[in-house]
């Protein structure tokens, strides 16, 4: 029989790509989101516009014992959304309500397996002070000290899903994503993350001009291209008994200045960087891939530059359309 999947947050960046991927794998797919995807028509067999904070909506979309449920819906964005403090109450309330509803009604509906997308933002700030040596191994999550309410909510929801596993036998799989990027992600409007924001700024600038970067640009991060992320998710879902939480990210660490230089090279432009004040997050972060390598035999196969090239050209196209 054809397998059935539900993707919560299917109108978003990762959800949109995941739906396409599940369709290509032969699944019947229902997507649910507050909105349609801005960049392409959903490949889902059934797309429900609905608010997952609403218990009636959640019961309606979970009307069968799905083989796989992917819970990606969250009130989120890049540093400009998460770290200003202005959205803290919404981020916590909206995302926690979604997760409480999906875990409870998912278990009641008898779903066979559920994937939950947690984040690198759960890792303690005290381990990410040195930009050259951040510590993000899975077992370093506690004593907990995330640097944002977004991270605290993710940690709470990880624990909530694991409780449903322990008490009700829900087959839960949890990944901690580290900065996933690629085409069809937010690139303008305040929710975009560093790779998209930098590609946009470089694409907009005239050769010889200037772009603005938040902070001194010496903060470090790693970024994972969307296709590689989907591969990691698949392996985690197919694992026999390993359920995580596990990092899904790249361990190719780069400074934000380095990322900007990379985008300039791809664009063939020489630009100067003006460092301005802005919301930043931790000083350094990198994915520790030892656990995923050991348990799932997974490691990213693309260099960062290849993914940035694809993303830069896609953003350039979007700009030409405006
Ligand atoms: P996204 O913002 O593009 O997608 C999230 C989707 O959830 C959006 O389409 C949004 O409309 C939907 N949503 C929000 N509130 C909803 C509600 N009440 N009811 C129904 N839908 C609702 O984000 P994304 O980058 O695709 O991320 C997907 C998941 O992965 C999120 O949970 C995010 O926290 C997590 N994550 C992403 C990254 C990353 O780098 N992209 C990193 C760490 C974790």
**Average pLDDT of the residues in 297-311:** 96
Read off the pLDDT of each residue in 91-102 and give the average, rounded to a whole number: 98
> How far is Cα 21 from Cα 2, in angstroms, rounded to an integer?
15
pTM, whole model, 2 decimals?
0.96
Binning pLDDT at 50, 70 and 90, where does residue 90 land? very high
- Between 279 and 160, residue with greater pLDDT: 160
Mean pLDDT of 205-231: 95
SS3 of 151-201: the string is: HHHHHHHHHHHHHHHHHHCCCEEEEEECCEECCCCCCCCCCCCHHHHHHHH
Catalytically annotated residue among 81, 116, 150, 312: 150
Q: How far is the CA of 109 from the centre of ligand 1 (A)?
A: 23
What's the pLDDT score for residue 151? 97
**Of 171, 117, 118, which Cα lies nearest the Cα of 7?**
117
Atom of ligand 1 nearest to the CA of 118: 44
Residue whose structure tokens are 């596993």: 165
Q: Give the per-residue pLDDT at 83.
A: 86
**Is 150 an annotated catalytic residue?**
yes
Ligand 1 centroid to 77 CA: how many Å? Answer: 8
Question: What confidence score (pLDDT) does residue 82 get?
Answer: 87
Instruction: Kindly report, as residue ranges, where domains of CATH 3.90.25.10 are found in the chain.
Output: 182-222+252-289+302-321
Question: Where exactly does CATH 3.40.50.720 map onto the chain?
Answer: 4-180+225-248
CA of 50 to the centre of ligand 1 (A): 14
- Please give the share of the chain, as a percent, with pLDDT higher than 90: 92
Domain at 4-180+225-248, CATH from 3.30.365.10, 3.20.80.10, 3.40.50.1110, 3.40.50.720: 3.40.50.720
| Widest Cα–Cα separation across the chain | 61
Our answer on whether the CB atom of 260 is closer than 6 Å to any ligand 1 atom is: no
DSSP 193-246: -HHHHHHHHHHHSPTT-EEEEETTS--EE--EEHHHHHHHHHHHHH-SS----E
Q: 269: CA distance to ligand 1 center in Å?
A: 33
CA–chain centroid gap for 57, Å, is 24
Distance CA 129, CA 132 (A): 9
Q: Whose CA is nearest to atom 35 of ligand 1?
A: 117
Q: Is the pLDDT of residue 322 over 90?
A: no
Q: With cut-offs at 50, 70 and 90, classify the pLDDT of residue 79.
A: confident
Tokens 């020489």, located at residue:
270
Q: What per-residue confidence (pLDDT) applies to 190?
A: 82
115 lines ligand 1 (CB under 6 A): no
| pLDDT class of 143 with cuts at 50, 70, 90 | very high
Task: Give the CATH fold of the 182-222+252-289+302-321 domain.
Answer: UDP-galactose 4-epimerase; domain 1 (3.90.25)
Q: What is the pLDDT of residue 77?
A: 82
């Amino acid at each position: 029989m054809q397998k059935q999947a539900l993707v919560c947050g299917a109108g978003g960046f990762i959800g949109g790509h995941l739906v396409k991927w599940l369709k290509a794998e032969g699944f019947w797919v229902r997507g649910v989101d507050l909105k349609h995807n801005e960049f392409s028509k959903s490949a889902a067999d059934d797309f429900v516009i609905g608010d997952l904070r609403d218990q009636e909506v959640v019961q309606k979309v979970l009307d069968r014992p799905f083989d796989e449920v992917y819970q990606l819906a969250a009130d989120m964005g890049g540093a400009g959304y998460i770290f200003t403090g202005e959205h803290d109450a919404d981020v916590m309330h909206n995302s926690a309500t979604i997760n409480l509803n999906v875990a409870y009604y998912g278990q009641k509906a008898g779903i066979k397996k559920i994937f939950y997308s947690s984040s690198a933002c759960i890792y303690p700030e005290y381990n990410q002070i040195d930009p050259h040596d951040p510590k993000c191994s899975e077992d370093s999550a506690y004593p907990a000290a995330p640097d944002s309410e977004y991270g605290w909510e993710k940690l709470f929801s990880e624990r909530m899903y694991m409780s449903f596993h322990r008490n009700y036998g829900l087959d839960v799989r949890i990944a901690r994503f580290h900065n996933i990027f690629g085409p069809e992600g937010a690139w303008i409007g305040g929710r975009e993350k560093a790779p998209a924001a930098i590609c946009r700024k470089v694409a907009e600038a005239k050769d010889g001009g200037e772009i603005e970067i938040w902070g001194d640009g010496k903060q470090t991060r790693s970024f994972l291209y969307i296709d590689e992320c989907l591969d990691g998710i698949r392996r985690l879902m197919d694992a026999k008994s390993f359920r995580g939480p596990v990092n899904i990210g790249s361990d190719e660490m780069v400074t934000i200045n380095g990322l900007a230089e990379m985008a300039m090279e791809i664009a063939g432009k020489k630009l100067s960087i003006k460092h301005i004040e802005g919301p930043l997050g931790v000083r350094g972060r990198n994915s520790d891939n030892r656990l995923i390598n050991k348990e799932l035999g997974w490691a990213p196969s693309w260099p960062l530059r290849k993914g940035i090239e694809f993303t830069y050209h896609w953003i350039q196209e979007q700009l030409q359309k405006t």
